Structure 1
Amino acid sequence: MSTEEPTAACDPCLGGIEAVSTAVLAMSRHLEVREVLRRITASARSLLGAEYAALGVPDDHGGFAQFVVDGVTDEQWKAIGPLPRQHGVLATMLHQLTPTRLTDVRQAPAFEGWPAAHPDMKDFLGMPIIDGTEILGAVFLANKKGGFTEHDEELLRILAAHAALALGNARLYERSRELTLAGERARIAHDLHDAVSQKLFSLRLTAKAAATLVDRDPVRARAELAEVARLAAEAADELRAVVVELRPAALDEDGLVATLASQVQVLDRAHTAAVRFSSQGVRTLPPAQEAAVLRVAQEALHNALRHSEAASVEVTLAGTPARGAVLRVADDGRGFDPAAVRRAGRHLGLVSMRDRVATVGGRLSLESAPGKGTVIELEVPGA
């Protein structure tokens, strides 16, 4: 699909280290697989001055797990129809370790035509993206004024080698994120069992006790029923907090500031503690940084509202001169001795917070003392 921003702002005539370096940097700044694929495709097209570019990642069923194009408008792409299958020249490219350079792809023995809405293509250069002997995918370029040269082929070979590294890193990052999410689900399940389940068990026992006292001791029965009401309210608070954590963040649609503000508002309604949020001068951050800030904020709020007995929690988010952001979560709760917590083998989610921060090159600090509340501060770099 068409890209609105220049991915690799380089003149194809440069044809050297500077041009390749620009393209490699453009595709290496991102961690999500889809974005890395898009950057590789756009970088290859810009580097070699081609009219069209595509990158296909095969699945195990004769199709493509992912297929990204550049130089084709959204309207053209919709008109073309379903993703291509692995056939013809595309299939050849995905089953050989060597590049394919053709003066006219339409004259190739393996050519099988294309849909009616497909752009007309002539000169063609295809390069496999290889990790060892495994073909991760292939990048295809078409329609260059004057045709593709041996020098173009060599440039694309270098780019494809770096693309393999970038794609491998992105896949490792996404796998790490999946494991983190699995860990979060396990933690939430643990919270449900330890907090909500125990309160419901206590509530049931108290209700039974009240039932047996209704006739012989109405005063004590009323006291027990009051305890039932208190336990029910606490269980409802716990459930609301868990639902908030399970609710998917609206980062893509609303952005970090709006998402944080919305979640803080919900938590303020769900808990007796006053939870407040303010922001100033925050620019849009890369997706990985925004996700890290949001998750750290959620973990810090979880600790403050579940464990600190705080009367108020202040969440602030401010931009930095370097286009990054600083998150601060401060509560007036009972606080704790961080060293004692570490010696006891408890982490209060700090391990997962630090892991998230490390993946985006950020910095995390914690200040707390018994009776003096807790402050967690996170700083992340910008783009």
Structure 2
Amino acid sequence: MMTTSQSNQKDVTNILSSLKNIVEAVTHAASAGTIEEVLQQIANVAKQVVHVRYAALGVPDGRGSLRYFKTVGVTDEEIKRIGHHPQGLGLLGAIMHERETLRLKHLSDDPRSVGFPPNHPPMSTLLGVPIMAGNQLFGMLYLCDRTDGKPFSEEDQWLLETFAGYAALAIAGVQLGEQQGRLILLEERERVAMELHDGIIQSLYAIGMQLQLARMSSSNLDGDLTEAIHNLDTVIEDIRRYIMNLKVANYQQQTIYSCLRDLTARLRLGDYMTVQIDALDRLPPFSPPVFEAVCQIAQEALSNVLRHSQAKHVKVTALQNDTVFQMIIQDDGKGFDLDSLDNSEGMGLRNIQQRTRIHGGKIHIHSALGRGTRLTLQIPIKKPL
């Protein structure tokens, strides 16, 4: 029979072992790679620390909802049947907003509980802990249903709170690394943009002024020079848009909606037509290089609307399911005949098609004279390995 002293010694040994495992697990998680990979690894370890059936990690988006939500224990098929990730309501939101640990024997006992969506697996007990360092909230850990069927204990709570403290440091470290990488990229973009603006554009402006003077001094050249000046203005405008793209393409931080909103604002589309954007204000469902290509396609398409369509209204729609992201840009302009485009007019469309193919997507452009243009882009959503 085990004595009280032996029992206490065993408890201490178990706790020390758990702490050692926590430190090793978080250290491994911090080296997992991208922020999403680190979050998934932390959720995996949280499930093992307390031995539960279900674990999840949510990261707030600063607007009252969730930017990331990583789960363990719920199958892909179950997630597909549910249809969407939580949006930070009910008990999940309570932990996010109140930043306090929540331990429940029965989920339904708390008046803040909003229940589960259809097809959600049944869960009865909850242990939720905020992931914090100082006053900064990095995320929330949610555990449901111990594997032995017992309610969560004070020791479970202590272990998860301890784990959350280490997890906060791991997440902060990865975010800092990504921010440093973005800063280096942005500095390089700024340098290239400055060289373009201070060098090439100023030279083009000088050439343009010389052509203007030449046209004024010789009426015989008026027609040819007018066309040359128009072409030169087009080149300058294209480079301007390229510079704007370099300066703002911090794609790892932008949501789909903010990217489209910024594009339409920079192109000043609202000065010439009404603009409607129908897109979720959430991070894109693919990697930054793919999202960058999507934003560049949107910019090229919207530039064409501005320059050629004479439209009074343009609508940009972005939607997605589990496997495909789709963006539709539709205007009510004069339209065009795809077969009659010359080389210069068709270059932008060829760029769009090439970027789409590189990322395994599909592009469909429908246009008719007097009936506007509709561009539909589809990009596959690849699940992380």
When the two structures are superposed, what TM-score results if normalisation uses the length of structure 2? 0.47
- From the two aligned structures, give the one with the greater helix fraction: 2
Q: TM-score, normalised by structure 1?
A: 0.47
